[in-house]
Structure 1
Amino acid sequence: MVQTRPTVSIVIPAWNEEDTIKACVLAALDQTVAALEVIVVDNMSTDGTAQVVHALQLAFPDAPLKYLQQQDVQGLIPTRNFGLDQARGDILGRIDSDSVLEPTWVEEVQKAFTDPEVAACTGPVIYYDMPLRRFGAIADNAIRRAMIVITRDYHLLFGSNMALRATAWQLIRSEACLDADDELHEDIDLSIHLHEHARKVVYSSDMVTGMSARRLDDNPREFYSYVMRFERTYKKHKVRNIALRAPMAILMSAYPALKAMRAGELLNKASELRREQRSTE
């Protein structure tokens, strides 16, 4: 008997992402195994996000690209929830609007969920706007694999690159925190709820996506507040596992070097742009 592969929906919450949404959607559509649907959920954007997606729908009329609007409340979590609720796939992929999936992403997601016990899966990223991208990808994968050993029973999802079985989403849907004050890590929140139900979360090194390192553009105070979302999420759920603080320590210790690398990359791109402009004058 031939085993039927699970269908995969890809949900992309978006708010004012006209600069990144085109590359994100094109990568989601250009897969070795097609997604059942690619859903962009626009959360009251005031820029050209909608126009970019509509142009892609016209350019690729046969593509399973859907544009939805979530206009009840501003926020990532209600927008994410709206998209996941509308998705029809057996597996619900959830990425960011600056994520650029590798062409085999859907195929690798399907492989990860051949085990019926798997409720969710996450994978590594390649920071496409940083130098030494190949080395960075190897390091990211190594760190995430190390986290699996360190955090033991808790396996943490990464919101820019994750997939969730539809039945698992239905199980935790009413429990997932809405975070009206925008203080938590929504992916860590989902991880904790899955853990509370003893659902299996796995990591796949082959389920790769590119993403922007634009978070490093934050100043030290903003970056620290971002990292402390881990602590606020753990406090919300009364989780006292010391090992779960490891990602916080890694991010804070790596921040100075990564920010310097990011600044150098942006400077190089600015120089290239000036040279191109001079060559056309």
Structure 2
Amino acid sequence: MSEIVILLAVLVGAGGIAGIISGLLGVGGGIVIVPVLFFVFEVLGIDLAVRMHLAVGTSLATIIFTGFISARSHWKKGSVDTALLKSWGPAVAVGVIAGTVLGGNVRGQVLTLVFAVVAALVALNMAFKPSEKAKKRELPGSPLKELLGGIIGLFSVMMGIGGGTLSVPIMSFFNYPIRLAVGTASALGMIIAIPGTIGYAWFGWGAPQLPPFSIGYVNLLGLVAIVPLSMLTAPWGAKIAHTISPAALRYCFAGFLALTSIRMFMSLI
């Protein structure tokens, strides 16, 4: 029993950290929640066959709540590009549907590898991004812009993240101001999290070796432990994002991704 209490405390703490990161980086907090859930489920002895699916599905469920709070905070500060949101939204949603079908049917090790590889690539991109004096670029037109949106939705839902992990670097590459990129990414997280959660619950329905209080690949105990504090701290992160320098924000983003990638690679060895 004491072990369960400790693990619940870890999840509650992870929720608080995830909320801050959600508001700070526009990533929905999944970049923290997925690894924490993965290792907590490991300690609880949950089978490897469903462990990563549970971490991803539960993370997406938490993003419905933290993403909403984060997006609202950024909206109030005027840092959500509604035009881009409208043009990217349908393509992201199509990618989410495809990614949910794929993610709900592949082995857990595949999801873990996808998470580790993408996080590492994005961390490198953000850490070594050229200065703002580099050649100016604009977002491409159709159909390449829609293809980028589909890729964001596909990989985000397979990783259990809110989309900021991919959309923030892409928008930064095309010289979007980092704060506007973070705010828009937080809104994209809602488009990813809601259908993604439904999909993982559906594909995991009746799966063997699921822990108690699970609806498919969504664990309600993890959800309840993480969400309250993450919703409380998400506005703090959004406030911090508007007070620190863009360069510091970018390096903070890269650092978290690098550490997470290393941990997930270690789990595969």
Q: What TM-score comes out, normalization by structure 2 length?
A: 0.29
Pick the structure with more strand per residue.
Answer: 1
Question: Which structure has the larger Rg over C-alpha atoms?
Answer: 1
Q: What TM-score comes out, normalization by structure 1 length?
A: 0.28
